[in-house]
Amino acid sequence: MSHFAALSKLLGPESALISDLDITTSYSRDQAPFAFSAPPIAVLLARSATEISIALKYANENKIPVVTRGAGSGLSGGANASADSLVISLEKMNQIIEIDAANQIARVQAGVINLDLDTAASKLGLAYLPDPASRDWSSLGGNAATNAGGMCCVKYGVTSAHVRAMQVVLASGEIIELGKATKKSVTTYDLLHLFIGSEGTLGVITELTLNLEIRPAAPSTLVATFPNITKAASAAAALLQYRPSMLEIVDQTTLKAVEAWHPLGFEVAGAVLLMQLDENHSLAEAALKTCKEFGLIDGVYSDDPNDAADLIRVRKMAYPALERMGATLLDDVALPITEIAQFVEKVEELSKRSNLVIGIFGHAGDGNMHPTIVHDHGDTAAAERAQKAFSDIVEIAQSLGGSASGEHGIGSIKAGFVANEISATVIELQRAVKKVFDPNSILNPGKKIP
């Protein structure tokens, strides 16, 4: 009997186990442009932890690779399938089980879309704060599995700071609970946080208990233009003293791309910093003064929410504007904030040396930069140079004390860089941890750890 037939029998006629090639192809990859993928044997649109448990038990006994998929918005090939694999999609497990306003928590199935939870919480004056730019279509399970960040994370912390507990199905099929719904608990080793950022390699997250916060006040928004991105990056480190709830950077190349697409009236003389203050609006004036110490060309701020939406639109349009110019490779590296200026100088040199357009933008306040390499569609020589530049950018970041990924994950495209920043002993420890949870290495094999 084929694996598909055997699994269908175990799961029963009500299950959505699909082998149609058009459908398996559409579930075979995420948004990473150059990672390997192939249509899997089948896709299970799971509806319960029990179904996932049955599928994993069978896969484990038969050593079938399993790729867990949230919404497939990932940028590291983490949800990419291979021809011998089973994809388990969580998209149908999209129920908000409970919002407990008194305890400021929500219990959700892992397939709930980030924005849907925040919208539901907002009706009670609460907020789910982690705000990846993909929040209107990425899943909370995927956010936890990649430890997603976002614009407000400079103040409120990335996903890991907002998860209290989770339900996980192990490779063996056993269903376990990790963490506690309480705000504090130090009773056990912190296995909960081991799963956050584990990119589908340790188990399938089926349910999450998440922090909700009192909804922050509408922010004051400040836009400051500097002669170049190096000066803007230096200013960013100084602006952290104001506890911004957003601190983003956009370089001149990206600004020009946005202005060419949708003119927003930005000065394209240099680079901009976008900053929000959601508590102490009166600090905006002081922040502008600080910017002057770094060669500020022009600065404005506004407390009006409509102005704020206009002012930050440039950041939201940064990536799509570069995408309009050609094929793109969006990189993601983390740096000490004090090294951003040096990092961008080196990336600008790389851009000239490799004859490639590289737009630089990112979460300056977190030191998380997204240099985006652009080349002409169909130009294979330029595509090769772009892939090399993608690697060079990671190595530049690592040489400055940075990390290969800040938020998109290692997936199937960056495992080769991991050994540059951790010792052989730590790699062995990671392999040992993986073996405890997944002795047959069926969960996303070959991803995350080298």
* Closest CB to ligand FAD among residues 80, 220: 80
Work out the angle at residue 313's Cα, subtended by the Cα atoms of residues 249 and 240, and round it to the nearest 5 degrees.
Answer: 35
Residue found under tokens 């209107």: 136
**62: number of Cβ within 10 Å:** 13
Closest contact distance (angstroms) between CB of 226 and ligand FAD is 23
| Shortest spacing between CB 204 and ligand FAD, in angstroms | 5
Separation CA 185–CA 378 (nearest Å): 54
The least distance separating ligand FAD from the CB of residue 441, rounded to whole angstroms, comes to: 14
CB of 53 or CB of 143, closer to ligand FAD: 143
Question: 8 vs 28, which CB is nearer to ligand FAD?
Answer: 28
Q: Is 365 in the site for ligand FAD (CB under 6 A)?
A: no
Residue from 64, 99, 145, 165 touching ligand FAD (CB under 6 A): that is 145
Interacting residue with ligand FAD among 74, 179, 219, 244 (CB under 6 A): 74
Other beta carbons within 10 angstroms of residue 176's beta carbon come to 12
Nearer to ligand FAD among residue 27 and residue 294 (C-beta): 27
Distances (CA, A) of 101 to 124, 126, 212, 250: 7, 8, 8, 37
Residues 431 and 418: beta-carbon distance below 8 Å: no
The single residue among 40, 70, 197, 367 that binds ligand FAD, judged by CB under 6 A, is 70
Nearer to ligand FAD, 284 or 337 (CB): 337
Q: Nearest-CA neighbor of 150 among 246, 30, 278? A: 246
Strand bridging mode 86-89 / 42-45? parallel
Give min distance, CB of 352 to ligand FAD, in A. Answer: 27
Q: Give the span between the Cα atoms of 24 and 43, in whole angstroms.
A: 6
d(CA 150, CA 347): 23
Stretch that binds ligand FAD, among 71-79, 257-265, 350-358, 424-432 (CB under 6 A): 71-79
Number of residues that bind ligand FAD (CB under 6 A): 37
- Under the criterion CB under 6 A, does residue 150 sit at the interface with ligand FAD? yes
Query: Exactly one of 121, 163, 205, 312 binds ligand FAD (CB under 6 A); which one?
Result: 205
What 8-state DSSP symbol labels residue 119?
H
Alpha-carbon span 221 to 244, nearest angstrom:
10
Neighbours of 111 (CB within 10 A): 24
Cα–Cα distance measured from residue 362 to residue 277, given in angstroms and rounded to the nearest whole number: 18
Q: How far is the CB of 72 from ligand FAD (least distance, A)?
A: 5
In the complex with ligand FAD, the residue whose CB is nearer, 332 or 348, is 332
Regarding 175 and contact with ligand FAD (CB under 6 A), the answer is no
Q: Are 197 and 183 within 8 A, CB to CB?
A: no
Nearer to ligand FAD, 348 or 407 (CB): 407
Q: Which stretch binds ligand FAD (CB under 6 A): 41-49, 64-72, 347-355, 374-382?
A: 64-72
* Nearest position to ligand FAD, beta carbon: 142
d(CA 195, CA 206): 12
Q: What is the rounded CA–CA span in Å between residue 194 and residue 177?
A: 13
Binding status of residue 244 toward ligand FAD by CB under 6 A: no
Backbone angles phi, psi at 294, to 5 degrees: -115, 25
Residue owning tokens 């609970």: 177
Question: Measured from the CB atom, is 42 or 291 closer to ligand FAD?
Answer: 42
Site for ligand FAD in 401-420 (CB under 6 A): 407-408, 411
Among positions 103-142, residues that touch ligand FAD (CB under 6 A) are: 110, 132-134, 138-139, 141-142
Amino acid at 216: P
Residues making contact with ligand FAD (CB under 6 A): 30-31, 67-75, 78-79, 90, 110, 132-134, 138-139, 141-143, 145-146, 148-150, 199-200, 204-205, 319, 407-408, 411, 444
